[in-house]
């Protein structure tokens, strides 16, 4: 595609659209170039590559034009990248080099996938400086990390409270157990003499029979003392009272 006022052509480049500008661009050509680029970059979610290797800019207003174009493309969820390696164009774009996506060649652009997505989100990487975050990304990452820390602290605090509550319950049960054991020991100490005398029934089945024999024997002695004849049940250890 050609324009009478400016030299602009475009073609498909893989899943992208390659726009090539050629010639010297002055202030008089800005409206025509703006209109032409706006008509080319109307699609949503597309990647547009603008080749500036063979052109020169004689007016700084072209920077505003490209900034507006960048906002339009990104507003449609697209991507805009510039292709050039001429030093003159680098000097022209130097002020906004951290804003524009600039590559020295199409091959360089094809290799930039992951790093460019990181850069667009405020993360840059270089061998000299390593990974660097923009101010906005640093704030977002700080908020996320702070949220993780607060969540971790709240979980630890909740678990500590649960542990303390369970420890207090265990201690209470242990105190109750010691109290019950002490009461049982006191009860055994109190019941022991009564069991030894045979007053209380023992777990031994023969203990109650022995106690009943002694009762019968004493009853027979009392009857003999008063002159009555003992019953046949008045025995001691299975022997009849004489």
Report domain extents, the chain. 7-122, 205-242
pTM for the structure as a whole: 0.47
Between 136 and 187, name the one with better pLDDT.
187
State the DSSP code for 99.
T
Would the pLDDT of 181 be above 50?
A: yes
Q: What is the mean pLDDT of the chain?
A: 78
Nearest to 82 by CA among 47, 58, 114: 47
Give the pLDDT of residue 1. 39
CA atoms of 180 and 137, how far apart (whole Å):
64
Would the pLDDT of 88 be above 90?
A: yes
**Residue-wise burial string across 159-186, b where 16 or more C-beta atoms lie within 10 A, e elsewhere:** eeeeeeeeeeeeeeeeeeeeeeeeeeee
Q: Where are the alpha helices (DSSP H) in the chain?
A: 30-40, 61-75, 87-93, 106-110, 113-120, 135-196, 205-226
**Percentage of the chain surpassing pLDDT 90?**
28
CATH class of the 7-122 domain in this structure = alpha beta
Q: Within 13 A of 47's CA, how many CA atoms are on the CB side?
A: 16
């Amino acid at each position: 595609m050609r324009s009478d006022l400016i030299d602009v052509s475009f073609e498909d480049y893989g899943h992208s659209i390659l726009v090539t500008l050629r010639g010297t661009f002055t202030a008089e050509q800005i409206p025509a170039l703006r209109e032409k680029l706006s008509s080319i970059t109307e699609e949503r979610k597309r990647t547009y590559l603008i080749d500036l290797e063979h052109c020169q800019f004689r007016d700084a207003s072209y920077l505003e034009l490209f900034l507006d174009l960048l906002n339009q493309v990104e507003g449609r969820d697209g991507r805009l990248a510039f292709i050039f390696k001429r030093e003159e164009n680098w000097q022209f774009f130097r002020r906004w080099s951290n804003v524009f996506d600039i590559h020295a060649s199409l091959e360089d652009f094809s290799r930039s996938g992951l790093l460019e997505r990181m850069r667009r989100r405020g993360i840059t990487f270089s061998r000299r400086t390593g990974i660097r975050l923009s101010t906005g990304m640093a704030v977002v990452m700080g908020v996320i990390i702070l949220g993780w820390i607060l969540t971790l602290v709240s979980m630890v605090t909740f678990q500590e409270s649960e542990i303390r509550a369970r420890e207090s319950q265990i201690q209470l049960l242990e105190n109750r157990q010691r109290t019950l054991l002490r009461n049982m020991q006191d009860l055994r100490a109190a019941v022991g003499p009564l069991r030894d005398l045979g007053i209380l029934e023992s777990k031994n089945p023969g203990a109650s029979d022995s106690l009943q024999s002694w009762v019968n024997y004493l009853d027979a002695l009392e009857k003999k003392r008063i002159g009555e004849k003992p019953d046949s049940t008045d025995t001691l250890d299975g022997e009849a009272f004489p």
